[in-house]
Structure 1
Amino acid sequence: MKTFHFDGPDWAFLTPEQMYDEEGKLRRAHKYYQNADIYFLTVMNKCLFNPKKTKVTSDGNIQCEVCVGDPETRTFRRLTVVFPLIDIFHTTPGILHEFPDRNEFLSHALLNRYLPKNTLKKQLYRVVKGGLVKGILRPGFALNVLRAIYSSEITIRHSTRFEINVFDPITDAMTDEQKAAESKKHHPHFHALNNANWDTQKTAAVDYSKLPGANEKENVRLTIDQIVNRFDIEVGNQKIAYIGKTEQQPFDRLFPHVKLNELQSKLAKNEFETLVIHLFGFRMVDEPLISWPPTTRLSKSDAITITEAELINYFKPSENEDYVKNDGKPNWKHIKLLIKNKYENIRGLLDIDGRYARFYTSQVGNLKLNRHEIDVDLNAYKPAPKKKKTKS
């Protein structure tokens, strides 16, 4: 039984504001975004920070207030969370392997890498560290003092209500630009692998000095979606308003997009909901598998069209017009193409975990959010066989 199958997929999401100016140019230069085939425009509850409530705690953590919009009550639900700033550096593979325990790594960084900038704090730091080494001060007390000195040098700023810009002294102390340059010089193959993800012709057009935070001293950026996912905060679901195909150029396709602009206009005066753009790169193959790596004999353009059409037909978004109604499906071009090429089924799987990938519409409801399965029996759309004429 020959089946056209699409699944996965690779997934990225962004807000409309991130599509424009230098940030948009940089995103469209990355192969991860360029390889997207399908996009969703979804509406969800607005999530943002309350800048007045963001602060640094005495032990070097970031305390912030997450606000989640509720369009029905026209209020924001507010939740206070504390983010361990040291996690940013501790979770990097090399550090995590050497220091499985976060507090052990923090103690190592405070005692061996960090040194305060302020003269008085530097003197106090040296006194406390000396007292710890000589056994005059208890380890617990000494480390608490060092953490307090460190936390007093952390600075925070909100460039928007969707992110927190942080200067972390430990990140600064652990970053060695000279060593990074030496690494690039002696390990060119490693860096070439990273560079392979970028379209260098497009990155050449980016003015890096105009990127968010480019002229600021902050070295850590915490976005609202990172915090939501990190603490598994309930933010509601993603209502799919429109599904389309990117034609391999998601940003160029979406910049003048009529539906995106229409939805933006509708939500412009709604402070409790927001528009989100999801980009997908699906794996599209024929089953049973006849080649390795798995692929399809259909053209890339036809495979994307089939995927788009069946996703629309499954979800039936409110703003789509084509492929929404089942009437006339036997006459759809891609259905005829598949039947002509002796396909008997279309199977699709959209399976992504996370708060920002809980998709629903009035058609599919909100019981199955992170996993959606599509199964189309093409035999139901084959034309009835012609009756043989009987001899009179």
Structure 2
Amino acid sequence: MASDKPRFRFTVSATDGKARAGQIEMRRGTIRTPAFMPVGTAATVKAMKVEDVRASGADIILGNTYHLMLRPGAERIARLGGLHEFMRWNRPILTDSGGYQVMSLSDLRKLTEKGVEFRSHIDGSKHMLTPERSMEIQRLLGSDIVMAFDECPRADRPMKEIAESMELSMRWAKRSRDGFASGQEHASRSALFGIQQGALNQELRGQSAAALREIGFDGYAIGGLAVGEGQEAMFGVLDYAPDMLPEDAPRYLMGVGKPDDLVGAVERGVDMFDCVLPTRSGRNGQGFTWSGPVNLRNARHKEDTGPLDEKCHCPTCTNYSRAYLHHLHKSGEILGAMLLTEHNISFYQHLMQTMRDAISAGNFADFAKGFRLNYLANKA
């Protein structure tokens, strides 16, 4: 890694309404924003080689702290040269804190002020995850963008519980900042993001944002959404939540989402995204196109010699027909998952590039209107 490159520098190069186009410069490379990060849960973007992920246009991928700490283990990955060397990805990696996965194990975990004690879903072994341990794991992995440890309650919990959870997450955010700084060598070449919580409550979101700003982070995530509240409620929060966060730092909406979610969130000032949807859908026979999602298992495609998406130039659309993709998925062939996943990741990256171009050209509103007209009206 070249030492003359910045540790972390975010620049907004164009705005159109609340939508922003820019870049994050880091030692392992530049991340163009708005950015979509393919999810590499277990040191792999499922069904894809890293060179194909890069060829799709991805500048950064996401790794999962919870899964990697359990298997193969953070210490083992460190001995093997770190996550970048382990999976042969030489560009930036963002690692989540593990908090979301641990919180989803409601019957296998115990929450205290210190952290979360839980049992592995793999073998039942007992583990303790604290803000300090989460920072240590992400340091061992060699993460470029580290996420603060937080709790992510469901939006339908009583408001008192949501408020207490948010306050706990803010105390953990301070401990995460201190734990991150204690690893001086790693902190000198990586970045730390805080996570805003507060579910669907504007007042709690404001309190959370104020606490995070006081602590100080390189970037700020909007957490606690895309957990079953629906698009309308999510957009309701995004109408104000990004504005509560610093203008000179990237805003990252965690775990989102469908293509129309991304367009709506960029309209509201979000810069970064991740979601398992394009890879999961690829394994399940669903492809995303500019004319809406397509179910390749549907019999209507069995003799269709056309490409999945005529506007797409990815290897899948260039070389294979809908009929062949239909056959692969009906037959349960692994190649079907590989080809459709490659297309979906390419489509998401093409969508992000198109949004960056529209913001820079000052016609994002027209793009968004046209996108929704075609995407939502022509579901196949």
TM-score range, shorter chain: under 0.3
The structure whose RCO (Cα within 8 Å, separation 6+) is larger is 1
Structure with greater proportional helix content: 2
TM-score of the two chains, using structure 2 as the length reference: 0.24
Normalising by structure 1, we get a TM-score of: 0.24
Question: Greater Rg, structure 1 or structure 2?
Answer: 1
